[in-house]
A and B are shown apart, each in its own frame.
Chain A
Amino acid sequence: MKYVISGNSAAAVGCIEGIRRLDQKGKIVVVTDEEYPVYSRPLISYFLCGKTDREHMKYRPDDFYEKNGVDLYYRTRAVKIDETKKEVLMSDGTKMEYDKLLIATGSAPFMPSMQGLEQVKRKFTFMSLDDALVLEKSLSEIQNVLIIGAGLIGLKCAEGIYERVGRISVVDMADRILPSILDGDAAGMVQQHLEDKGIRFYLSDSVAYFEEKQAVLKSGRKIPFDAVVVAVGVRPNISLTEGTGIQTGRGIVTDVYGRTTAADIYAAGDCAQSMDAVTRTERVLALLPNAYMQGECAGIHMAGGEKPYDFAIAMNAIGFFGLHMMTAGSYEGEALAEKTAEGYKKLVVKDGRLVGFILVGDIRRGGIYTYLIRNRIPIQTLDFDVLAAQPQLLAFSKEKRKELLGGVPR
Chain B
Amino acid sequence: MKRIYVNEEWCLGCHLCEYYCAFANSGIRDMAQALKNVEIHPRITVEDGGEIHFAVSCRHCRDPLCVKGCITGALTNEEGVIRFHQQKCVGCYTCILSCPYGAIMPSKDGVVQKCELCTNNTYHTPVCVQNCPNRAIVFEER
Contacts and interface: CB of A to CB of B under 8 A. Distances in A.
Nearest to B47: A394
Tier of interface size on chain B: 35 or more
Contacts of A341: none
Given A393-B47, A393-B56, A405-B56, A43 B90 contact: yes
A406 B72 contact: no
A366 B68 contact: no
A401 B54 contact: yes
A23 to B, nearest CB: 19
Given A42-B92, A319-B91, A406-B7, A288 B99 contact: no
Contact of A410 (B61, B90, B99): B61
Interface in B67-90: 68-73, 87-88, 90
B8 A40 contact: no
A279 interface: no
Tier of interface size on chain A: 35 or more
A363 B93 contact: yes
B5 interface: yes
A368 B71 contact: no
B62 A409 contact: yes
Given A319-B93, A405-B8, 14 more contacts: A40-B72, A40-B73, A56-B72, A317-B92, A319-B92, A363-B93, A363-B96, A367-B65, A367-B104, A394-B47, A394-B48, A401-B54, A404-B100, A405-B54
7 contacts: A58-B73, A317-B93, A319-B93, A368-B100, A398-B8, A402-B8, A410-B62
Interface of A: 14, 40, 42-43, 46, 51-52, 56-61, 288-289, 292-293, 296, 315-319, 324, 326, 328, 363-368, 370-371, 386, 391-394, 398, 401-402, 404-410
Nearest 4 A-B pairs (CB), nearest first?
A365-B102, A289-B69, A371-B100, A367-B99
